[in-house]
Homo-oligomer: A and B are copies of this chain.
Amino acid sequence: MAEPDTHTAPIEQTAVRLDEVDRKILSLLQEDATLSLDQIAEQVGASKTPVWNRIRKLREAGVIRRQVTILDPDALGLEACFFVLIRTSEHDKDWAARFLRALRERPEVIEAHRLAGDIDYILKVQVKNARAYDRFYQSLISEVKIHNVTALLSMEEIKATTALPIPDGTR
């Protein structure tokens, strides 16, 4: 397979200037990528050509990254979501590289960040149930040494969006 990697381009992205119409287009597309050009054009009050040109430019500028389908975790039987706080004693490059690889190759890791402060990493992990989380956890700590782990179990998803707040033009 042509590796449709989840962690895209390490391009140093720098903020792009957008006008009101660009922002409107982006905010529509963020909510629903199936909207046709006609519908978008109508909603932003322009005709197809300029809207299409703007979308193409936004794609080229890297503002628009990709289009994805969002699935329902419950329908897939993924009823448990954990946030995992990790402290490590190891800070050498080799350890970090192995840890990163371990995270990237595990599909139940939906998100992973390196943090500032006394907690070193946070993960979001989506699994079937607590048992599946434990399997994940055991497998992870057997692969890389970790000093301290706290798992926070989500009881209820209050909000979850892929839509970013699009800053307004005043800057």
Binding site for B on A (CB under 8 A): 4, 6-7, 12-16, 18, 26, 29-34, 61-78, 81, 83, 100, 103-104, 107-117, 119, 121-122, 126-128, 152-167, 171
B152 & A68 in contact (Cβ 8 Å cutoff)? no
B158 & A114 in contact (Cβ 8 Å cutoff)? yes
A103 & B159 in contact (Cβ 8 Å cutoff)? yes
- Whole-angstrom CA separation of A155 from B113 in the bound complex: 7
B29 & A76 in contact (Cβ 8 Å cutoff)? no
- Whole-angstrom CA separation of A119 from B84 in the bound complex: 13
- Whole-angstrom CA separation of A14 from B15 in the bound complex: 42
| Chain B residues, CB < 8 A from A83 | 83, 113, 115, 122
From B6, B113, B157, contact of A113 by CB (8 A)? B157
Instruction: Given contacts A76-B167, A121-B158, list 16 more A-B pairs with CB under 8 A.
Output: A7-B158, A7-B160, A30-B68, A32-B66, A34-B67, A62-B75, A65-B69, A67-B69, A67-B70, A78-B167, A83-B122, A107-B165, A111-B157, A112-B158, A114-B154, A115-B152
